[in-house]
Structures are given as structure tokens and as C-alpha cells.
Amino acid sequence: MMKDPFYVPIFFFQSAEHLSLSNIYPPALANYKKAIETNTSDSSQLYLERMHSKYGLALVHEGLFEEAIIPFENVLKVSPNDRFSLNNIVYCHYCLGRVEKALEEYEHIIKK
């Protein structure tokens, strides 16, 4: 029996990718969130990291910096030295006015 394509995480992820590339972020955010929620345990680690990274980046583009930190931290749980996520966490803290926290995180990146 074949799964309905609207409940397959890759469908949501690919449609979110397309919407993000077209700078249509609110529906892209909804699709990234659905892709993460409907994700199965058989997905590859790289796919999961990419999904969380793209979701966080779409949140950054919408100016939702506080919420964007969470997906980037999820990537760091799996891949602690992911420079993309570390850099975006620093950027989010800076945009939220947490300059001291951003500076601490940035120094942490430099030491790695």
C-alpha cells in the first residue's frame, strides 16, 4: 500500500524548499514544520540536519530570531561543530540585542 504523498516528509520538505527559493516564507515555514513533525526514524542524519537548518534559516528570514535558535540547536545536538548553525545562532542573538551572548558564542566558534 502506497503512502499518501501529502503525508510524506519529503513532500513537505521539497515544497518548502521551493517556496523558500521564491521568498514565500510563511507557507515555507508551515511546510518545514510539517516535514519535521511527520518525519520517520528511518530518515538519514544528513537529511534531518538539513531540514532543521533550512527551517531555522526560513525563520531568520521572517525575523523570528528567538524561534530560529531552536532548530539550529537541534542540529548542534547531532553535529556539535556545524559552523552554519553556530554562525546563525550568533546572528540570532545579535539581532535580538544580546550582544554579549553573541560575542561569547562567537569566541566559542573561534576556539573550535
State percent of the chain over pLDDT 70.
88
Distance of alpha carbon 86 from alpha carbon 41, whole angstroms = 25
Please say if the pLDDT value at position 97 is more than 80: yes
Quick one: pLDDT band at residue 37, thresholds 50, 70, 90? confident
**Number of CB atoms found within 10 A of residue 43's CB:** 14
CATH architecture of 5-86: Alpha Horseshoe (1.25)
Is 105 within 8 Å of 87 (Cβ atoms)? no
Q: Give pLDDT tens digits for 54-88.
A: 999 999 999 999 999 999 999 999 888 899 999 99
Taking residues 18-26, what's their average pLDDT? 83
What is the per-residue pLDDT for 24? 85
32 burial level (CB within 10 Å; 0-12, 13-18, 19+): buried
Distance of alpha carbon 104 from alpha carbon 112, whole angstroms = 13
Question: Side chain identity at 52, as an amino acid letter?
Answer: H
Q: Give pLDDT tens digits for 39-49.
A: 766 667 777 88
